[in-house]
A and B are shown apart, each in its own frame.
Chain A
Amino acid sequence: MKKIILLIFLLTSQLSFAQTTVSREVVGRDIGQLKGIKISGRIIDEITGEALVGATVTIPELDINRITDTNGAFDLTLDRAEYNLIFRYVGYETVNYPITAVGDGRISVRMIQEDFQLDDVVIFGRDPEKNIRSTDMGAITLSMNSIKELPPFLGEVDIIRSMATLPGVSQVGEASAGLNVRGGGADQNLIQFAGAPIYNPSHLFGLFTSFNAEIVNDVTLYKSVIPSRFGGRGSSILDITPKAGSVAKWGGDLMVSNYSGKVGFNGPLVKDKISVRGGFRGSYINWFLGALSNPDLKNSQANFYDGNLVISAPINEKNEFTYSYYTSYDDFAFASDTTISWKNNSHSLNWKSQVSDKLSFDILGYYTQYDYSIFNRSGINDFDLNSGIKDFGFKGYVSYLFKEGNRITLGADTKQLTLQPGELIPAGAEQDILPKKVQDEYGRESGFHFQHEFEIGEKFGMSYGLRYDTYQYYGPRVVRQYEENKPISDGSAIGETTYADGETIQTYDGLGPRGSMRYSFSKNSSVKVGYNKMYQFIHLISNTATIAPTDVWKLSDEFLKPQIVDQLSLGYYQNFKGNIFETSVEVYYKDIQNVVEYKDGANLILQNNLETELVPAQGKAYGVELYVKKNLGRLTGWVSYTYSRSLRRVLTPYEEDNINDGEWFASNFDKPHDLTLIGNYKVSTNTSVSATFGYSTGRPVTYPEAKFDYSGNSLAYFNRRNEQRLPDFHRLDLAVNFKLKGNAKFFEGDWTFSVLNVYGRKNPFSLFFVDESGQPPQALRLAILGVPLPSLSYSIKF
C-alpha cells in the first residue's frame, strides 16, 4: 500500500512545474565525517507555518525518495557529498534545495502554495485534520474548486445536486431541486445565499439549480449539530457564500454550453479598497425549441436567467462590508396559452469586523422575495394567479476568543415574513370569473443564541449552545373556528374571528439546545456525540413528492403547529496516511413532530382554509452513514454509503383522517440504501476524467389494491400509502475536462465534455397507473433521463 501511495505521489508531484531554487547550503558541523551523516528536516507551509504531511523529498543523485511524516519531518542518512534535494508537495511550488552534507544537522524548508489551478487536486482546505479536531458534527464544506471536479449536469456543475452525493443527503429524483437531509422534507433545509434565504433555487422545474458556480466561494452543509446561530429549519442549513472580486486587477470569465451561457467579470472599483464581481447566466433553450418541428414544442417557450452582483469593501484590515445581490427568473409557456413564471430576488449587506485579536462581530441585513405566477390566456376564464413570499431580516453575533479553541458567540436575529398564498385576477374582456384572494399571512420569527466552544487539553473538546426561538403570527386575518372533538373540515366550521392589523393571533416559542463533544484518541482519530433541537415555523404545502414551483408556503398558525426536530448523532472519525484518507461513520436518530401530511385528494390551490386539507403527522428517521474520502493525489474522490429510514405516521383521534390505519409508513423519500462513488483522475496536468456512480433503493410508491369501473373509466383503488417501491435507481455519469493554461497570448480555457446516464438506464422517476383507450389499465413509468445525455461546455478566464 505504501508503495502505491508513494507511486501516486511521484506521479502527482510531476504536476508541479513552478519551481524555486535556493543557493547551495552547507549542512552540518564539519567534523570530517564521511559516511552516515544524519540530516533531519521539516517542511512547513511558508504562510501558515503548518507542517506539510506527505511531502516528497527526492535525492536524484541516490535515487531516493522520502515522505514526510505527520509532523512534516523527514530523516536522511547520507555520505559526504553535494546533493540536489527536491521537495515536492501537491499544490505547492517544487523546491530545489542543493546542499553539501558535511555533518549531522537539520534543515528547514518552507514551501509556497501555487496558484489555485493546482489546488483542484486537493479537496481539503488548509486544515486537513479539521474533521478530526473540530467539535462540529456533520458540517461539510465543499469549495467550489472541488465541486467543479464533479461531472457537470447539462454543461455546468450544480451545487445542490453535488450536495446529494454526500452521505445522508438525497434527492427524490432527477427532476427535483429539493434535498432530503437525513429523512427530512425538502422544506426543512434553509438554503441561504450570502446570508439571505432563497425559497426556490431552481431552474426549469428543478432540472438544475439557479446558483452560478462562478460566483460561489464555498458551500457548507450543516446536517447534524447545527450551530446555534442558525435556526428556523428542521433538517439542515446550506450556507452558500459568494466570492468577492479581486481588489488588484480586472478579470472575467465566459462560458458556453449547449444549453446555456454565462458571462462574469470582477475587479477593483477602487483599487485595493472596493471590489466588484458580477455574473449573468441565461438559457437559449427557447431558440432550441423554436427549431423543432413539433407544433406544440415549437410554440412552447422556456426562459431562464440568473444574475449576481457582489460588492466587497475591505475598508481596512479589520472591517469589511459586503453587498450581495442575487436574482433568478424562469418562465415557461405551454403550446397554447398558459405561462408559469417564478423569480427570486435577494439583497444582503454584511459587516464583518475584527475589533481586536479576540473580539469580532458580524452583522447582516437582508431582503428576499420569491414570486410565482400563472397566466392563463386560453380565451375562457382568462386569469393571472400570483403568489409569493417576502422575507426581511437582520442578524448579528459577537464572538470572543479567550484563547485558541475557546470561543464564545452571542447573537440575535429577527425576520419579518409576509406570505401571499395566492391571488386570482380575472384577465379576460368578459367578466366571467371572480377575483379571489387567499388572505395574506404575517409572521415574525426571532432568535437569541449563545454558543461556547472549548477544549480541555488535546483530547477533549466541547461545544454547547442554546437557541431561543420565538414566533408570532399576527393579523389582519379572519380565522375560522371549528367544533371541538370533530375533525377539522368545512362542515365543522362554526364561526369566524377577525383579527386587526398587527394583532397577535398565535405565538410559539421554544428552547433549542445544541451540543457536541469530541474525544480524540490520537491526532488521527476521534469520536463525537451531538444533540440538536430545531424549530420550524414555515411549511411547504405541496402535495407532490418534491419541490415544485407551484407549491405554496404556509406559516404556522393555531392549527398548524411548528415542526420540532430532535436529533441525536454519534460519529467516529479517522484519517489515514497523513490525512490523505478521511473516513467517518455516523449514526443518527431523529424525531420530527408536526410534519404536514395531506388528506386524500387534498385541494391546496387558492385554499383559504388549508387546515381543512391537512393532517398533522409525526416523523422519525434514523440511519448509518459511512464515508471514505481521498483528499489528494492523482485520484481523488469519495465513497459514501447510507443506510437510513424515513418514516411518517398519521394518527389522529378521528379514524377517517388516519393514513394507513395510523401505522408508520415510509415517507416519499425513504430510500434505505444509498451509495455514491465519486472519482476524479488527473490524466495529465491539464486533463482530468471524473465519474459519479449512484445507487439507491427505489423510492416508495402506492400500488392499486384493485381496479373498478366508474363512468367508463377503469379506476385504481388505492388504500395503503407507500407500501411498494420503484425499481432501484442507479446511474453512471462521466466527464472529461481539458484545461488550457493561459499565458500572455491566450486566455485560460476549459473544455468539458460530459455524459450523464452513460449506460442509458431508464430509472423511473415515478410509476403511475392509467386506463388508456384500447389498452388494459396498466402501470407506466416515467424516466426523466432515459438515455445517455451528453453535454459540452467551453469556458475561458481572462
Chain B
Amino acid sequence: MKGASYSINSEKSEIRNNRNFFKSELLSPFNWKSKATMNLKKYSFLLLLAFTACIDPYVVEVEQGAQLLTVEGLITSVPKVHQIRLTRSDTYGSVFQGLIRPVTGATVIIRDNLGNVTFFAENAVDRGAYDSPASFAGIIGRSYTLQIQTIEGRVYTSLPERIESAPPIKELTYQVVKIAVEGEINPRSGVQLIASIDDPADQNNFYFWRNDPSVYVLKTSPELFTPRPSDSNPSRDPQPKDCCSTCYRTELVGNQGIFLAQDDNFNGLNTKIAAGFIEDDGLRFIQNYRVDLRQISISQAAYRFLRLVKQQTEISGSVFDPPPANIKGNMISLDDPEEVVLGYFMAGGEQGKRIYINGADLDFRQNVSIIPDDCRVVEGASINPPIDWNP
C-alpha cells in the first residue's frame, strides 16, 4: 500500500497527563468513578503550590525481577470463546529491563464442582492465550477451578470461584466528561457510560464492567491524500483517492480504568453507576458510536483483587496514597506452596447492554481529526457495517 498507515492509539488511551492527587477511593467510598473522570480532580492539592511542586521520572535501580507465573482469566455465563492468558512477570521497568513473555505449551483446563472438565486450547496466533470452545458458558450456581500444567510439568490450581447471577443493566446512558489539561486551551473529553441497575436486595453483589469491541463510523478525507514525495512521484500536491471516506471501524477500547462497584452502599436500590469511559479522539464521535457493555458479577475475593489493581493504577504519589500493596491472587502452586503465582482466575454471571451514541447529541466534542487517506487503511476499518448495525 502506498502512503502512510495510520494507527489510532486505542489501547491505554488513558488521560493521565496530570495526576489525581487525591485517591478516588478516599473521595468516593464507592468505585463508581473511572480513572479518567477522577483525573478531573487531579493535582488539586498541588495547585496551591502550583509553581513549586513537580512530578518527574526518577531512575531507580531495581533488582532482577522474578519470573512468576501470571494468570489472567475470566469465564462468564455467556456462551462464547473465553480466554485464559498465561505470562511470566519480569524485572520492573521498560521492555529492555524485562520482557513479559507468554507461557506457551501449557495444559489448561477448567473443572466445575460436578467434575465436568473443559479444555482450553492455545491460540495459534496469540501465544500464551488459551481459548475455550465457542460454545462454552459457565453455569450460574456452579463453582469453577482453573488448573494449569506448564510445559516444565509444574502444576497450578485456582481456588474455586462460584458463578453468581448478574442483574441486568436496566438502562445504559452516558454523559460527556471534560478533562482540563494543564497548559492546553482545549480540554480533553470523553463519554462516560452510566449503568442503571436494580440491585437485588437479597444478595451481596460485586460488579465489574468491561467493554466488548465497539464499532463506529469513521470519516476520513481521501481527497486530501498526499503521498510522501519520491523520485518517481516528486509532487507535493494532494493526489485524491477515489475511495473511501466512510468506514465502520471495530476497536477494543482497552483499559480505560477499572470499573467496579459493590452494593454495600446501594443494596436493593435502583442506582446509577459510572461503568465505562471512552475518550473522544476526534474520530469516534463524528457520527455513531456503538458500545457493548458487559456487566459481570464477581466474587468478593475477586472484587478485592481488582480493587487493589485499580488502586495501584490510580496511585499518584500523594500524601494520601496508601502504601503499595501486595496484590494477592487466587492461584496456588501444587508443587511448592511457597511459590508466588500472580493474577486471578474469575468466574461470573454476565449481562450485556448495547448503546449507540450519536455524536451530534454530545454537548461537547473534540475538533475533528483529519485522516487524509482512504478510511480502509485504518486498522479494524471496513466499508461494510456489521450485520446488526442498527443505530
Contacts and interface: CB of A to CB of B under 8 A. Distances in A.
A702 B323 contact: yes
A762 to B, nearest CB: 7
B309 A544 contact: no
B324 A716 contact: yes
Interface in A768-795: 768-774, 776-787, 789
B266 A206 contact: no
Nearest to B315: A768
B271 interface: yes
A777 B317 contact: no
B198 to A, nearest CB: 11
B272 A777 contact: no
Contact of A780 (B55, B85, B326): B55
A787 to B, nearest CB: 5
Interface stretch (B40-48, B157-165, B291-299): B40-48
Nearest to A385: B29
A424 B27 CA distance: 12
Nearest to A374: B27
Interface string B24-51: 0111111011000000111111111111
A710 B98 contact: no
B47 A709 contact: no
A766 B26 CA distance: 18
Interface stretch (A132-140, A344-352, A413-421, A600-608): A600-608
Interface string B321-343: 11111111000000000001011
Contacts of A21: none
Interface stretch (A75-83, A545-553, A562-570, A614-622): A545-553
Given A300-B44, A338-B27, A783-B53, A704 B16 contact: no
B70 interface: yes
Nearest to B95: A776
Nearest to B26: A550
A705 B28 CA distance: 30
B321 A766 contact: yes
Contacts of A32: none
Interface string A698-721: 000011111111111111111101
**Among the interface residues A302, A717, A757, which one has the most CB atoms of the partner chain B within 10 A?**
A717
B274 interface: yes
B214 interface: no
A712 B11 contact: yes
B1 interface: no
Nearest to A764: B58
B312 A716 contact: yes
Interface string A584-622: 000000000000001011110110000000000000000
Contacts of A719: 326, 340
B93 A715 contact: no
A708 B342 contact: yes
A705 B40 contact: no
Contacts of A776: 93-95
A782 B304 CA distance: 28
B41 A707 contact: no
B255 A713 contact: yes
Contacts of A424: 29, 265
B199 to A, nearest CB: 10
Contacts of B54: 762, 782-783, 786-787
A431 B272 CA distance: 10
Contacts of B68: 706, 708, 717
A295 interface: yes
A780 B48 contact: no
A651 to B, nearest CB: 17
Contact of B322 (A601, A724, A765): A601
Interface string B282-315: 0000000000000000001000100111011101
Q: Say whether chain A's binding surface is mostly helix, strand, loop, or mixed.
A: loop
A433 interface: yes
Interface class of chain B by DSSP: loop
B100 A289 contact: no
A543 B264 CA distance: 21
B41 A338 contact: yes
A738 B183 CA distance: 39
A767 to B, nearest CB: 6
A639 B270 CA distance: 64
A33 interface: no
B79 interface: no
B208 to A, nearest CB: 10
A686 interface: no
Nearest to B88: A708
Contacts of B109: none
B202 interface: no
A786 B28 CA distance: 30
A434 interface: yes
A719 B22 CA distance: 24
Contacts of B125: none
A297 to B, nearest CB: 5
B7 to A, nearest CB: 12
B254 interface: yes
Interface hub of A385, A424, A711 (most chain B Cβ within 10 A): A711
Contact of A434 (B43, B92, B267, B326): B267
Contact of B319 (A205, A374, A378): A205
Given A289-B47, A707-B89, A176 B319 contact: yes
B236 interface: no
Contact of A543 (B269, B272, B323): B323
A271 B93 CA distance: 72
A7 interface: no
B92 A767 contact: no
A765 B317 contact: yes
A721 B325 CA distance: 9
A767 B58 CA distance: 8
B271 A601 contact: no
B12 interface: yes
Interface stretch (B59-67, B146-154, B355-363, B372-380): B59-67
Nearest to A207: B48
Contacts of B266: 381, 432-434
A721 B322 CA distance: 12
A334 B46 CA distance: 11
Contact of A707 (B12, B30, B46, B92): B92
A788 to B, nearest CB: 8
A117 interface: no
A204 interface: yes
A175 B48 CA distance: 11
A294 B311 CA distance: 27
Nearest to B37: A378
A132 B227 CA distance: 87
A546 B318 CA distance: 10
B318 to A, nearest CB: 7
B112 interface: no
Given A543-B322, A768-B321, A782-B53, A380 B194 contact: yes
B321 A544 contact: yes
Given A712-B12, A717-B327, A436 B309 contact: no
A706 B48 CA distance: 35
30 contacts: A207-B49, A285-B48, A381-B28, A381-B32, A381-B265, A381-B273, A431-B270, A433-B269, A543-B323, A544-B322, A548-B320, A600-B326, A706-B98, A707-B98, A711-B72, A712-B254, A712-B255, A713-B12, A717-B89, A718-B325, A767-B60, A768-B316, A772-B14, A773-B16, A776-B95, A779-B60, A780-B57, A782-B317, A784-B46, A784-B52
Interface of B: 9, 11-14, 16, 22, 25-30, 32-33, 40-60, 62-63, 65-68, 70, 72, 85, 87, 89-95, 98, 100, 175, 180, 182-183, 187, 194, 254-255, 258, 264-274, 300, 304, 307-309, 311-313, 315-328, 340, 342-344
Q: Which 5 A-B pairs have the closest CB atoms?
A: A776-B94, A712-B255, A706-B65, A782-B317, A708-B89
Given A204-B48, A297-B47, A786-B54, 13 more contacts: A175-B319, A300-B44, A300-B47, A334-B22, A338-B28, A603-B307, A703-B63, A705-B65, A708-B342, A715-B312, A774-B9, A776-B95, A778-B93
